[in-house]
Amino acid sequence: MHKERHNNLELGIRLTPRSPLLIKSSGISPNPSLPDMQFVRTFVKGIETIYIPGASLKGVFRSYVEKILRTKKGIDGACDIFDKGKTCAKETEKELPGNEIYKNSCLACKMFGSTKLKSRISFIDAYPSGEIKTETRYGVAISRLTHAVAQGPFDMEVAVSGSFNSKIYLENFELWQLGALALAIRGLNDGLIRIGFGKNRGFGEVAVNIETIQFTFSSELPEKEICGIGKIVSEDAANKYGLVGNDIIIIESNPSKTENEIIYTKREYSPKSWEEISNKAISQLKGILS
């Protein structure tokens, strides 16, 4: 199925720290002026800047979604990665057709992928949208035996204001997967999910604002409809992959822009439409989990 492209969501987001934020670099910087624990850095247009790696975002989203799926559906919702004999990658170790691998995978692996299955969702690195203010925080390690200082002091570089822009892509998706994404975004805004280092110190709380929403479909659809892949492909293909049939939601919001190209139809929605879209998609997720 990944050889074809039937539907796609491009979601532009802005991440704003609500508490100190640190995505810790794994290496040691040659710059002696930087703290012991410095923010991960890269170069953009020749200028060094801090950023949030897309892999860090994906890990946080997957962890939260897995908890929800495992709570409601057990290992059918999210396989146990610590039991190597029962992971989806192990269960599908034999050479199987792509449709069988997808059909037999847990819900989490269907969405986020495994070593045998490509992910439906991808996250772009989040770069600063303007000036990011950082400051240095200090800490010490306390011995649990003596209750005295075991190591330190050490210093940490944290972002305290500003915002980061990123994009999330969901391709060939079922609507319950869109609902799972919406639920994770809601979890971030509610403070249930934190990003980066020092979560138990109160670090890593962020607000997520939806900036842009663009859907792409391989067939023309009524203006009020948003469809999962099971509605777009043939009934035979949907059955082969175990897709949700008649996967559709009806929304009241009208697209702000529509482009009918030779192959695809693109629709853009205003950020205000996200609440309605996400609520309808979460209802589809509830149906899968019931």
Q: Answer yes or no: are the C-beta atoms of 2 and 153 closer than 8 Å.
A: no
The mean per-residue pLDDT over the stretch 49-69 comes to 96
Paired tokens of 285: 């997720």
For the ranges 101-105, 121-125, 141-145, the lowest mean pLDDT is seen at 141-145
In 3-state terms, the chain is what percent helix, strand and coil (to 5)? 30, 30, 40
Model confidence at 116, pLDDT cuts 50, 70, 90, reads confident
Range 132-139 contact pairs with CB under 8 angstroms and sequence separation of 24 or more: 132/49, 132/50, 132/159, 132/161, 132/162, 132/164, 133/159, 133/160, 133/161, 133/162, 134/39, 134/50, 134/158, 134/159, 134/160, 135/20, 135/160, 136/35, 137/20, 139/201
Domain range annotation of the chain: 7-13+53-125+164-289
Burial 19-50 (b: 16+ CB within 10 A, else e): bbbbbeeeeeeeeeebbbbbbbbeeeeeeeeb
Q: Is the pLDDT of residue 262 over 90?
A: no
Indicate the pLDDT class of residue 178, thresholds 50, 70 and 90.
very high
Determine the average pLDDT of the residues in 37-61: 93
**pLDDT band at residue 29, thresholds of 50, 70 and 90?**
low
What pLDDT is attached to residue 28?
A: 61
CA dist., res. 270 & res. 121, Å (int): 21
pLDDT score recorded for residue 149: 64
Let me know if 73 is exposed, middle or buried by CB neighbors in 10 A (0-12, 13-18, 19+): middle
CA distance 228 to 218: 11
Task: Report the chain's mean pLDDT, rounded to a whole number.
Answer: 90
Give 124-153 pLDDT, tens digit per residue: 999 999 999 999 988 766 767 766 666 667
In the predicted structure, residue 31 carries a pLDDT above the cut 70 = no
Which of 7-11, 141-145, 194-198 has the weakest average pLDDT?
A: 141-145
> Average pLDDT of 90-110?
83
Model pLDDT, residue 93: 60
- With 0-12 / 13-18 / 19 or more C-beta atoms within 10 angstroms meaning exposed / middle / buried, residue 16 is middle
The residue that leads in pLDDT, 290 or 226, is 226
For 212-246, write each residue's pLDDT tens digit. Answer: 999 999 988 888 999 999 999 999 999 999 999 88
